[in-house]
Amino acid sequence: MLRRSQVPWLVTALGLALVVPAGVSDASVQPRVAAPSAPGQVVTVPGWKLQTSKTATQGGATLSSPTYDDGSWTSVPARSTVMGGLVAAGKYGDLNYSTNLKNVGKSDFSVPWWYRETFSATPAAGSHTFLRLTNGIIGGSEIWLNGTKIGTTDNGAYPAHEFDVTGALKTGTNALAVKVSPADPKKQLSISWVDWTQLPPDNNMGIWRDVQLAESGSVTVRNTRVVTSVAGDLKSADLTIKAEVTNNTGAAVTTTVAGTVDKTAFTQQVSLTANQTKTVSIAQHLTNPKVWWPYEMGDQPLYHLALNASVDGKVSDSAATDFGVRDVKSAMKDGAMSFTVNGKPFLVRGGGWASDLFLRYDAQKLGDQMDYVRDLGLNTIRLEGKEENDELYEIADKLGIMVMPGWECCSYWQSYGSWQAADHTVAKASAVTEGLRLRNHPSILGFYIGSDTAPPAAVEKDYLDGLKVSDWQAPVISSAAKATSPQTGPSGNKMDGPYWFIPPNYWYGNQLGGAFGFASEVGPGPTIPDADALKQYLSPAELSDLWQNGSKAQYHLSPSGEFSKLGSFLTALGKRYGTPKSLDDFVSKAQMTNYEVNRAQFEAFGRNQSKASKPATGVIYWMLNNPWPTLYWHLYDYSMQPSGSYFGAKAGLRPLHVQYSYDDRSVALVNTGLDAKAGLSVQTTVFNTDGTVKSDTTQSGVTAKGNASTTLDKVANPSGLSATYFVRLLLKDSSGAVVDRNVYWLSTKPDTLKYDSSTWYDTPQTAYADLSGLQNLGTGKVDVAASTTTSGDRSTTSVKLTNSGSKVAFFLRATIRKGASGGEVAPITWSDDYVTIWPGESVTLQADYRTAELGGAQANVQVAGVNVAAKTVAAAPR
């Protein structure tokens, strides 16, 4: 953490004498946590009592008195914005349903709120206790301890603060009170949600990250970090271990800094004058280092660094961090940003991350979401202005998922002309804090210092100077848009849309958001959850409007005019698939639409990575998830029930994948692994909707190049095709086993686009593919066999689907249900879903989930398709 002696803009303790105010309760107050009692120990405040200043009208001196009675205040978790805390305490109804969120009174958050906690302490002679705010308090704050005003914080969301509270600490019960001011993302370097979702009524004011008490002796250790330099052949690495050591006394002192990395020990003597801070720098060399890779390319080993500072043979403070040995670089390729990891080209295929709307921390849901990232086949997530808690980066390190954090668009972060001197201070401190917090994580791919614009020279200098404090090594990117800043230069990114519906062939075009260069945020807009999820969030009237009234604004779409109505999506749905006849029909057609267009997006960028000219270097799907239940911009919805968006993307992101090209009908193989795969064959079959085989060919002796795409023969275009038809691709290994299977539903009539009428978010269509034949497939028949095995707290259900009829069984969706009539189990990962099988064909699907999600019920499997009636079977234990 940062100290005033290291960074001049952080606030220090005032050192006032403890005053016990008059008029407080004489009631005995039991402290709720104990302060650290040994050097190097850190205790996190475990929770708070919360109250509005409309009710708690006394000043900080009174409210921070250990004898003040806060029994009527609301108990909230440790990381709680005001709304987040009130929601956790059950103060509101279901804010996810219908327009309930709109009914929360914003005036409640136009005044300050108080946070309060008590703790016991037994200060020892010569010890020092520090109060740490791991990030800024949103809205700004006053900090009070035992009747003494310790200091204030600015209104930035990110700058860390540390206060030496030794002089205000007392033996026995202590009370900490924090007065939080209202937040305004239009006037503060805070947090905003732009057009992602309906907005939180409190603007996220409050304590959103950990508050800690840390104990030390006369010398403290802070900002432990490791600078790595990896040899090109990866056979050695040089480490520079750095940390700041500070003498907290008025007399000179000598400290011994000792540590270990991978069982190698080292020491260094450091002499400090009174109240001096020095940076310790210790060199280490690794032979044959354990190199960290993104998961598609290799393993994710981590090293552990432990440091301590001793004075007169006694430990005064200690610190530790994990880090990875890897090399990340960026360069321009035909004007586009491109990355290498450990010298190997790295095609970014990721999604835009959204934090919870109230910035609540849920460890289980965070882990589930990161598991979804891996299951989808994504290799990167991009964070825009909500840099998330430490746990996300720790999981990313372990799972091998790259992360691209950065600052926010469309708020005060980009209102550079309105900034005052204090804003520049906050901006620099934000970069210092986030740089020190993130720089040791091998999962960091780069940092965006601008989003929709690049920062001007003075602001760019603030950010770069701030990152330099942390010895930042990952690439720094000037903007997520096509823009340039004076020092960082051109971004190599493009942000040309789309953000709203476009058909699959759009991605194969050579304009705007097509699959070339680095697209920092693009996606096909509306992403409709399955009916189970929709009914959790929408009223009957909203459900009716959803499929019948595309011109009506939906509250669960965006608050912005561009994205508040389904409009063109509903038009395209009707023209391509046929006008929806019911809610279920609409949902079914939406899943087909979301599946085909999401698959095409990732497939196009995967294929085009190996083009000689204007190759694809990266794409971030906009977005990965939602902060609150919405009907657009996600690969999985808020309920965590994966649907068409999810499985279309998952199909297009398979590690060894055979795919169809919408522009030239070619077949391509995409291999995300570093090693080539030989001895493969590709069977391509073209079917009419009645099941007639119009073409069936096999290309043998195929090799999928490593970390690249390989273009194969074109799909036949035989005469006599029905207006809607199918292409099935089977990738087989040398033994004939199927390793990848894809089915495309196509039309002899193409989708066409009017590029010259494009806006920043949309390219309109002028003609539509004819996929209406999918409504006239005839009745399909599928046999379902299912069984479940359980190991520990996990269950795996195996589902075998066999087409026992005479018609194609199209777009079969399997779900695990809680008993015979219960809801859908989620979160859950499937090997595949929404599959299409022809007469005599079988596929086996596997689902993995927490056994507890069944709620004690029997696992059942429900299977339904476009032309196959729903069927439910028991998945009996095996």
Active site residues per annotation: 452, 521
Of 492, 394, 410, 377, the C-alpha closest to 446 is 492
Sign of CA dihedral 590, 596, 600, 602: positive
Return d(Cα 189, Cα 185) in angstroms, integer: 7
Residue with tokens 């204030």: 152
Instruction: Using CA atoms of 457, 134, 125, 256 in order, give the dihedral in degrees to the nearest 10.
Output: -60
Whole-number Å distance between alpha carbons of 507 and 102: 37
CA distance 443 to 373: 14
C-alpha dist (Å) from residue 88 to 203, 360, 390, 448, 857: 17, 9, 21, 33, 28
The H-assigned helical ranges of 579-634 are: 583-607
Q: How many Å separate Cα 632 from the centre of its chain? A: 16
In which element (H, E) is residue 373 found?
Answer: helix 363-376
Euclidean distance between CA atoms 271 and 706, whole angstroms: 53
Three-class secondary structure of residue 333 per DSSP: strand
What residues contact residue 261 under an 8 Å CB cut-off, 6+ apart? 226, 239, 241, 284, 303, 304, 305
636: which residues sit within 8 A by CB, 6+ positions away? 369, 372, 624, 625, 642, 643, 645, 646
Which is nearest to 809 in space by CA: 863, 862, 867, 729? 867
> What is the Cα–Cα distance from 612 to 661, expressed in whole angstroms?
17
Q: Are 744 and 687 in contact (CB under 8 A)?
A: no
Helix (H) or strand (E) holding 461: helix 457-469
Bridge partners, residue 687, by sequence = 693, 726
CA distance 35 to 118: 10
3-class secondary structure, 238: strand
Task: Check: CB of residue 386 under 8 Å from CB of residue 356.
Answer: no
Nearest 5°: the CA angle 587, 844, 586 is 5
Element (H, E) at 264: strand 264-272
Q: At what angle do helices 457-469 and 421-438 cross, to 10 degrees?
A: 40
Residue that the structure tokens 């891996």 belong to: 374
Contact by Cβ (8 Å): 623, 353: yes
For Cα atoms 425, 428, 431, give the angle at the middle one, nearest 5 degrees. 150
The CA-based angle 89-94-98, given to 5 degrees, is 155
- For residue 279, what are the contacts with CB-CB under 8 A and spacing of at least 6? 242, 243, 244
In one-letter notation, the amino acid at residue 266 is F
Measured between alpha carbons, how far is residue 293 from residues 348, 396, 488, 594 in Å? Answer: 14, 11, 26, 31
Strands 724-732 and 677-688: antiparallel
**CA-wise closest residue to 441 among 407, 408, 470:** 470
The answer to whether 838 and 696 are in contact (CB under 8 A) is no
